[in-house]
């Protein structure tokens, strides 16, 4: 009798275990088939894609790959003429969504739309940023020009916004890691700036912009530690694009040494090379356009 009880207990536990294994492998298969097979080539999101470096990322991601989908987000999709031109060319592979990094509900809405349409994300590029805005933010040349409102604005757009974007896309990135592309992890690339390096600060000035990028760097380092601790298949890095000929740098290009002002095409090509070759050990690191690590 005793032998029979032990035997049936063993059979019951073995059945439960195999059911649990079956269920977990079905769940895994369901998520992989949804994200990998349906979206061959993966799904990338470029945040801050209306112009400049962000728009160039969208262009190269679409033009360099035969497959793969891109979600481009920006504050005002209607006015984003560069994105409309790309949409005409890549009707099926490009989606455009409204997202203002200072309005969290627009980030949540984008995450919802991406989840419903694609189910996962393989790459997130946070490209938005501000250096100067008429009447609101001017890169400070001296402490006497520092204003609370400028410090707060730069911090809100350049540091808080990108981190909230990662927070809301995180569940999609976890699924995206290991599927859809040749990579076995999802990647987050935050466009920072060398001036955010405290160790590299020899010239001073640009207090609001510098401090906001330093804050972005620290926030990114912090989440990269969490991703690694939780064994999430997500790598998050910081990238300095060089001095690039865009609206952001245009008023400040006078003192750029010859040969040091890059086209956005060149800069994004270099940044995509870093992204495509990223390793797990790069998680949390801060790289310049040429692949050199930048000191904190
Ligand atoms: N250009 C350089 O030399 C240089 C150097 C170092 C680092 N960076 C960094 O590179 C990134 C891209 O800069 P860029 O040169 O391409 O500048 P840009 O041409 O001025 O483009 C800035 C982008 O940020 C978007 N943006 C601004 N505020 C936003 C908000 N609240 N929510 C969502 N998007 C917002 C803009 O959208 P709207 O069209 O709606 O304004 C635009 O798409 C920035 O993070 C910048 O700090 C640039």
DSSP states along 137-151: B---SSGGG--HHHH
* pLDDT of amino acid 179: 77
CA trace torsion 54, 177, 88, 47 (10° rounding): -30
Q: Which two tokens stand for residue 195?
A: 């001036």
Ligand 1 atom with the smallest distance to the CA of 244 is 3
State whether the beta carbon of 109 lies less than 6 angstroms from ligand 1: no
Q: For 105-142, write each residue's pLDDT tens digit.
A: 999 999 999 999 999 999 999 999 999 999 999 999 99
Block residue for tokens 């996962």: 120
- Distance of CA 158 from the midpoint of ligand 1 (Å): 9
* pLDDT of amino acid 38: 58
- Distance of CA 177 from the midpoint of ligand 1 (Å): 27
State whether the beta carbon of 246 lies less than 6 angstroms from ligand 1: yes
Average of per-residue pLDDT values in the chain: 90
Residue 187 has pLDDT above 60, yes or no: yes
Residue 14 has pLDDT above 60, yes or no: no
- Among protein residues, the one with the nearest Cα to ligand 1's atom 20 is 248
- Distance of CA 254 from the midpoint of ligand 1 (Å): 19
Q: For 264-293, write each residue's pLDDT tens digit.
A: 999 999 999 999 999 999 999 999 999 999
Strands 123-126 and 43-47 turn out to be: parallel
Pocket test for ligand 1, best of 246, 252, 257, 287 (most atoms within 8 A of CB): 246
Q: For 224-249, write each residue's pLDDT tens digit.
A: 999 999 999 999 999 999 999 999 99
Domain boundaries, the chain: 39-288
d(CA 114, CA 91): 17
- Distance of CA 130 from the midpoint of ligand 1 (Å): 5
- Distance of CA 127 from the midpoint of ligand 1 (Å): 6
CATH of domain 39-288: 3.40.50.720
Give how far the C-alpha of residue 214 lies from the chain's centroid of Cα atoms, to the nearest Å.
17
Of 32-41, 141-150, 163-172, the one with minimum mean pLDDT is 32-41
State whether the beta carbon of 129 lies less than 6 angstroms from ligand 1: yes
Contact yes or no for 127/191 (Cβ under 8 A): yes
Q: For 66-96, write each residue's pLDDT tens digit.
A: 999 999 999 999 999 999 999 999 999 999 9
- Distance of CA 258 from the midpoint of ligand 1 (Å): 23
d(CA 32, CA 43): 13
If one counts every other C-beta atom within 10 angstroms of the C-beta of residue 252, the result is 13
φ, ψ of residue 61 in degrees (nearest 5): -65, -35
């Amino acid at each position: 009798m005793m032998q029979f009880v032990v035997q049936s207990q063993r059979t019951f536990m073995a059945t439960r275990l195999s059911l649990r294994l079956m269920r977990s492998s079905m769940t895994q298969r369901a998520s992989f088939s949804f994200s990998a097979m349906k979206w061959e080539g993966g799904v990338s999101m470029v945040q801050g894609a209306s112009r400049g470096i962000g728009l160039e990322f969208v262009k190269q991601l679409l033009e360099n790959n035969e497959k793969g989908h891109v979600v481009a987000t920006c504050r005002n999709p209607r006015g984003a003429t560069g994105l409309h031109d790309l949409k005409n060319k890549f009707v099926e592979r490009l989606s455009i969504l409204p997202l203002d990094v200072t309005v969290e509900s627009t980030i949540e809405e984008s995450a919802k739309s991406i989840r419903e349409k694609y189910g996962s994300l393989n790459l997130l590029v946070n490209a938005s940023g501000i250096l100067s805005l008429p009447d609101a933010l001017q890169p400070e040349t001296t402490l006497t020009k520092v204003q609370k409102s400028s410090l707060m604005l730069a911090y809100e757009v350049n540091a808080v916004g990108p981190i909230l974007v990662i927070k809301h896309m995180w569940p999609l990135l976890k699924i995206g890691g290991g599927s859809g592309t040749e990579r076995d992890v999802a990647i987050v690339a935050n466009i920072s700036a060398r001036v955010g390096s405290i160790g590299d600060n020899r010239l001073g000035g640009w207090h609001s912009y510098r401090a906001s990028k330093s804050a972005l760097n620290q926030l990114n380092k912090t989440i990269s530690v969490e991703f690694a601790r939780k064994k999430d298949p997500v790598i998050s890095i910081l990238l300095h694009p060089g001095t690039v000929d865009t609206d952001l740098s245009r008023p400040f290009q006078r003192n750029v040494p010859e040969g040091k002002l890059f086209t956005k095409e060149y800069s994004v090509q270099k940044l995509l090379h870093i992204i495509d070759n990223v390793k797990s050990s790069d998680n949390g690191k801060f790289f310049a356009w040429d692949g050199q690590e930048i000191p904190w």
